[in-house]
Structure 1
Amino acid sequence: MMRTARRAAPRWSFDWQPWAVAGSLGAAPAVDPWQGGMASAATHPLAEPQLSAALAQRAERIRAAFAEVGPAIERVATAGYGSDAAARAALAGIGDVSALGPLAGDWKRPVDWVARQAELVIAVFARLVAEGAERSAMLDGEPAEVVMRRFGFHAVDIATCADGRMAGLLDYVLRVPRVIVAARRSYAGALFPVAEAVSAWERTELRRLRNGKEPVGNTRFLKMGVYHFSSRDPSHEGCAAHGSDDRKAAGLLLERLEAFAAAIDRHYGDAANVAILLAGHDTDTDSLRVHVPDASGRMDIDRFVCARYLHDATAGMTREEAKEHIREEVAACMGVAADDAATEGMRWFCGYLLKNNVAQVAAVRALYGEGYPDAGHDERLIVLGDPIDDVQLRNLAFQAQGQSVEERAGDLAVGVRILGERLSAEGLAVPVLVVRSFDPAIPGDEQDAEAASLRMRAAVARMFPLGNGPRVHAVAAVRATGGGPLRFVHADSAGGAGRGPCGCGGHRA
């Protein structure tokens, strides 16, 4: 479906400075973080050395946290702790011990250390979520939401693939403040249900209408879809849901985006004025393709601007020259003049994403050369239910989002196959975190979320019974919609329904 630009975007001056680093991600280092292995990328005019160094440090802390799990379980399993409490005390510094089943047993009921290992992986993830990684909500000294309105958008809803190699999309690949992302949900092949996306749009617009902060129709809602591909091994390491066929991945996702826009128009007419945008993520290099819409809003899977090309093309320029080059490339791809007022908002947003991604390409090259050493999967766990974006890192978690196991059975099966191939060879189980969100302002919603998480965990156990394929071990949790720590749910904390945290039924950790 053709989308038309219905209003001229305002003109403004914006320096495209990166969002600031704050909180537990780490302050800017006192010494040059680009010495040694990262020195070569410091010369690129669009590199953001302080931000890239802070992100690299955060990544190492996350990897180190998960690296503690195996040795910690081995110490506790072999040390002969005489009581459950003593064993828990020994693991208290690793993760939330309330996630763990029994840590002491006897010859009749020995401890299931494989289950405990999976639970500890989930506990480490929960600890990282609780620690968080605060981000500044500022862009170039102004609130990010204000800048986004200058781009012509009041909300960005992103659909991505469930593949764990995209688990660092927001912080690393796009480098956007999370305050501008109204929602980010993952599906196999990024193929989001159109009806679900329409409902999410309706909720967002209703809140905006009721808040009355700005005239309705002054800015647009942007639905963005991001597929992924592999430049190193395109026939095998691309999107599994599309058989590693990049054109199929891009084409089918574009069809979903156009169907979403058509559905909004049919129900609400031109006044809804939504925008759509397609992008591709190379999981080997973290580079981005942005399928820039033409002047009428139409996109083509064969027409895009590539950040890898921009990185090389702008390497010898000044920073201002590099930014101007990106603006010109985006305008040329769109088929309009570089100062076309009608398309300015979308052009500047596309340029902003590409500029940010050039900095990530520079960071990856500085650390790893042309791309990551591992082209394949190395996820630690599967997150099932509602999305969690607080902890961002490539290959961290496979995301299978939905309101029931049946709804996301296909996505979950793909994730179990991917993680199971590696973990089963090591004699380990696939950790599955079932998380449901609740609205603290709605009476009873927390209890409903608890019951739903337990039902989903029980459904996972039925879908992957012991002795039939990779071992799968699920843990249930709930979380407030506004963020904050995860709270693990056990059978007796939600009316006694469901199974115990280790899957054996009935006890409380």
Structure 2
Amino acid sequence: MDTRKSFALRQARSHGYRAPAPIGMGVGRPAPTVFASGALHALARGHEHPACITLPERNCSHALADLEENARLAEFEAAIKGGFDAIVPALQEIAALGLGEDFARRAQEIAQRRLGFQFSQAVLERAWVNGPEMGLLFGEATFAALESAIARFSQQIRAEMAAGQSLDSFLVDCGFHAVSISTCSDGRLKGLFPFILRLPSSALVRRDAFAGVLFDIEEDVRHWESAELRRFREGYPTMADANTRYLKVAVYHGSSVDPSHEGCAAHGSNINTAIEAALERLYQFRLAIENAFCCGASTDLLLIGVDTDTDAIRIHIPDANGDLSPHRYVDNAELYKQTLGLDRDQATLAVYEAIRAASNSDGWGRGEGMPHDGMRRLIATLLINNMSQIEYVGQYHGGWYQDGGHAERFIGVGNGFQEVQIRNLAYYAHVDTVEEGAQHLDIGIKIFKKLNVSRHLPIPMVLRYRYDSRVPGSRDRVVERVRRVAAAIEARYANLLDQGLLILRARVQDRPLGSAIEEVDLG
């Protein structure tokens, strides 16, 4: 699209887009209400959804929404979550059987019928001693549902490969040779890629998750070095002298319905703190690159916020220098409403105009001009993709999620959970060593003490790390690493383990997405 032409068209025919009002933050400045527009406050009171004033009648549809893809994702989400949601009712039915001599057989029939698999026969056969070991059965069922979900996701990833190649070409065309996206570990962001941003798996996109988006700067610098070395040695995906950049993205979150309690746990549900922490990490990463490799080592930064009640995003617009502001952004929930009656071309032009209007913000949001054309194209694409997700939440969840808080099913630990991408399915902690990742683990344990332990259910925790089969001895070293991490977790949470309230499983997996998952014996 010719963005200059689109801007001219939009200036000639404005559809009422209003740039975000300048707001400040910190001592002596007004605090930003990042997910608290008037429409979202109405949502919190149970009135109108920000996407469509006709809910619950739901007779509107946005021109940029992909309804066919929404239907496919809804079926996919229902199938995955249904496998987990069936566990407790199945166990309740088993608990009501009584301990007759055919208990094991009847329990297996229930498991097969309701869960699609069978429990360990040995666990059922010793039930006559102290009764059914519901904690073990709950953990076993959770891990079985996870394996089924991974199998479904692996099929999906293979189907996405062609789309991923298109995404790679698009990113390079926008001027980016590598993208690293760090999100919060919160399970409500687990659907960020296939749902919220509608991005397929891509060879150029690296993903990780840390509590509070406090990503590991040193690890990101190493990834930057690897990406640059590959350009120099292989010319992939661009030559070393090509005018492309490395893009680092941070994704924070907040709640429009209950901002004081259902925001980011790592930052005490304080949206200001979450934004400041993400910005600080982004600037520290850029400074680390510049200090080590001089100012010619170009990097771009992008900050995205997600309202976990509606999945609407806010993208903070970089200025011409690549700098970001908490107060210069495009609010996609508002943009959705304002473009609802437009046709596809008009709505697309309005998206670009919104980016231009945000770049011209005054007050605390003032910047030094507009971002480069490739960045504008990327931002516009993400905003357009997210229109479908706003519509999705309206279509299939009544406008906002009923599980507005945490409702995760298990804790994932390691660096290998790219295949599992559905909202509130897992709390994910990126952990290299328990000592370094203790904060992320502790937050996950705190969440699951409320979700599971309070109901006398154990916390299922899955360790999964990737190895590189191209490197001699990589698998053996990763297996040993998994065992060390497992031992450290068992020591740190020994009280939960002794009570049977923490159940660990460990897996390793080759580097390519969709590779076979191999179980590790923890002894």
Question: Aligned residue for 1:46?
Answer: 64
Structure 1 gap segments, 5+ residues each = 1-8, 15-36, 492-498, 500-509
From the superposition, tell whether residues 194 and 204 of structure 1 become closer, same or farther in structure 2 (CA, over 3 Å).
same
Specify which of 505, 517, 520 is matched with residue 475 of structure 1.
505
The CA deviation string for residues 433-457 of structure 1, in whole angstroms up to 9 with x for no partner, is 0111111112221122222222222
From the superposition, tell whether residues 368 and 314 of structure 1 become closer, same or farther in structure 2 (CA, over 3 Å).
same
How many residues align? The count is 459
Q: Does 1:136 align with 2:143?
A: no
Shift of 1:75: 6.2
Q: Does 1:462 align with 2:480?
A: no
- Calculate the aligned-residue CA RMSD, in Å: 3.3
In 1, are the aligned partners of 2:80 and 2:149 still within 8 Å (CA)?
yes
From the superposition, tell whether residues 453 and 83 of structure 1 become closer, same or farther in structure 2 (CA, over 3 Å).
farther
Question: Aligned residue for 1:255?
Answer: 280
From the superposition, tell whether residues 52 and 100 of structure 1 become closer, same or farther in structure 2 (CA, over 3 Å).
farther
Shift of 1:269: 2.0
In 1, are the aligned partners of 2:104 and 2:121 still within 8 Å (CA)?
no
CA distance in 2, matches of 1:179, 1:38: 37
Q: Does 1:420 align with 2:449?
A: yes
Aligned partner letter, 1:486: I
In 1, are the aligned partners of 2:209 and 2:428 still within 8 Å (CA)?
yes
In 1, are the aligned partners of 2:317 and 2:358 still within 8 Å (CA)?
yes
From the superposition, tell whether residues 124 and 342 of structure 1 become closer, same or farther in structure 2 (CA, over 3 Å).
closer
Aligned partner letter, 2:304: A
**Which range moves more in the overlay, 65-74 or 455-464?**
65-74
The CA deviation string for residues 295-343 of structure 1, in whole angstroms up to 9 with x for no partner, is 221110111101101100100111110010000111222239xxx9971
Structure 2 gap segments, 5+ residues each = 7-54, 362-368
Query: Once superposed, which parts of structure 1, at least 4 consecutive aligned residues long, lie more than 6 Å away?
Result: 9-14, 79-90, 95-101, 106-111
The CA deviation string for residues 128-170 of structure 1, in whole angstroms up to 9 with x for no partner, is 112322343456x982211111111122111110111111111
Question: Aligned residue for 2:239?
Answer: 215
From the superposition, tell whether residues 377 and 217 of structure 1 become closer, same or farther in structure 2 (CA, over 3 Å).
farther
The CA deviation string for residues 237-281 of structure 1, in whole angstroms up to 9 with x for no partner, is 100111111111011111110110111111112332111101111
1:222 partner SS: strand
In 2, are the aligned partners of 1:311 and 1:362 still within 8 Å (CA)?
no
CA distance in 2, matches of 1:344, 1:439: 37
Task: Show the 5 A alignment for 1:50-129.
Answer: 50-73=68-91, 78=97, 94=115, 102-105=123-126, 112-129=133-150
TM-score between the two structures when normalised by the length of structure 2? 0.80
CA distance in 1, matches of 2:121, 2:329: 48
CA distance in 1, matches of 2:257, 2:65: 23
Higher helix share goes to which structure? Answer: 2
CA distance in 1, matches of 2:218, 2:119: 37
Aligned partner letter, 2:144: A
**Which range moves more in the overlay, 215-224 or 162-171?**
215-224
Shift of 1:50: 0.5
Question: Aligned residue for 1:404?
Answer: 433
In 2, are the aligned partners of 1:189 and 1:227 still within 8 Å (CA)?
yes
2:58 partner SS: helix
Aligned partner letter, 1:456: V
2:251 partner SS: strand
In 1, are the aligned partners of 2:61 and 2:391 still within 8 Å (CA)?
no
Task: Show the 5 A alignment for 1:173-188.
Answer: 173-179=196-202, 182-188=205-211
Aligned partner letter, 2:516: P
From the superposition, tell whether residues 306 and 10 of structure 1 become closer, same or farther in structure 2 (CA, over 3 Å).
closer
Specify which of 375, 379, 388 is matched with residue 417 of structure 2.
388
Shift of 1:368: 2.9
